[in-house]
Chain A
Amino acid sequence: MITQEENDLIDRIIAGDEALYAKLVDKYKSFAFTIALKVVESRAEAEEIAQDGFIKAFHYLKKFNREAKFSTWLYRIVFNTAISYKRKNKQQFQSIENSIIEYAQRADHEIEKEDKRVFLHQAMKKLSDADRVALDLFYIQEFSLEETAVILSQNINTLKVRVHRARQRLADELKRVLQTEALTL
């Protein structure tokens, strides 16, 4: 449920006092940016997506249903913007330069093969976008489980199951990698 203060603020913004929108941007920019970053994994893109989300929210402010929380509504816009951005750019051709850098990163990872975090980072990349984002948002303490479920358009139980299965897969993947490592030593 939206707070009275936010409700009044939104009324004044809709009435024409657009400068007040900066207050809402300031309040929620980090949350919006974090959500976008979890989806696209690039700070520049995440910043652009979050800005786009705020601009969209401003344009649709009149349609905002005041029975919901403004933050949740905004995060959902940002999340959907990020998802559609990622979908559009998913099959983007990879430059040779990109391939070289990835190779170099892999080489670096080989050096740090003892570090479980490296394996987990790699394992995270194998998860589906939906699983990875669900997992990331679940672990950011500022987002409640209910809020995360609304942002991802899932019910709480589905989200819980998704998060559990994703963690199982990560644990299994880590176990498999470590066993392989042990065999090759």
Chain B
Amino acid sequence: MENLTDDLLLNFLDGTGSEAERDSVKKLISSNAKVKKRVEELQVVHVFLQKQNKMEHPSKNFTEKVMSNLHARPSFALLSPRNGLLLLIGLIVASGLAIMLVSSGSFDQWHAFFNIGQVPIKNNWITLPTSIPFDLKITVKIFVMINVVIGFVLLDRTILRPIFQKRAERY
């Protein structure tokens, strides 16, 4: 019943609803103190919303900005700050573990030679090596370096830029 009355009252405030509905609301307001009070409560909200909602205008060079970036990719990064932070933490943990394992000498014995001496290629001009060395320690170090570069990019794009953007906006 309350919802029904509220709906009627809100329609009344919006100026919608039939003539008969409006008349019945007017009668209710004048005859029922509770309804009158409720109209006043809803009217406060109604007036507040009317006043605070107006058309807003962007900066003067908005159109120029759009036109100059018309062929650019949408500006938002694919990663949210939260996901960027999670990925960054993952990278730090993975790199940290890798560095710990390298410094503890876990990969010292992990080197091998891929023997290619048996490959049936006859070539008189180029001397092919008979084997290719593979060192896991070097591979892990390269992995850590790549992680560090990705980490810096993530830190910049998904965390620092949004923070400085918000700060610049605030001041």
Contact = CB atoms under 8 A, between A and B. Distances in A.
B140 to A, nearest CB: 31
Top 6 A-B residue pairs of the complex, sorted by shortest distance between their CB atoms: A88-B80, A139-B53, A33-B58, A44-B169, A92-B81, A139-B49
Given A44-B169, A167-B45, A50 B62 contact: yes
Given A95-B163, A168-B6, A55 B44 contact: no
Contacts of B70: 18, 21, 55, 58
- In terms of DSSP, what is the predominant structure of the interface of chain B? helix
A52 B76 contact: yes
How large, as a class, is the contact surface on chain B?
A: 35 or more
B32 to A, nearest CB: 17
A30 to B, nearest CB: 5
Interface of A: 18-19, 21-22, 25-26, 29-31, 33-34, 37, 42-48, 50-52, 54-56, 58, 81, 85, 87-89, 91-93, 95, 97, 101, 116-117, 120, 135-136, 139-140, 142, 164, 167-168, 170-171, 174-175
Residue of B45, B48, B163, B168 with most partner-chain A CB within 10 A: B45
B10 interface: yes
A120 B69 contact: no
A56 B74 contact: yes
A30 B60 CA distance: 11
Contacts of B59: 47
Contacts, number: 128
Contacts of A18: 70
A133 B53 CA distance: 11
Contacts of B81: 88-89, 92-93
Contact of A55 (B7, B66, B162): B66
17 contacts: A22-B67, A29-B63, A30-B56, A42-B166, A43-B169, A44-B166, A50-B62, A55-B70, A85-B76, A88-B79, A89-B80, A91-B82, A92-B162, A93-B82, A140-B54, A164-B7, A168-B42
Given A30-B55, A44-B168, 18 more contacts: A21-B67, A30-B58, A33-B62, A34-B55, A42-B169, A43-B169, A44-B169, A47-B62, A52-B76, A91-B80, A93-B85, A116-B44, A139-B49, A140-B55, A168-B3, A168-B10, A171-B44, A175-B41
Given A47-B62, A164-B10, A92 B82 contact: yes
A119 B72 CA distance: 43
B31 interface: no
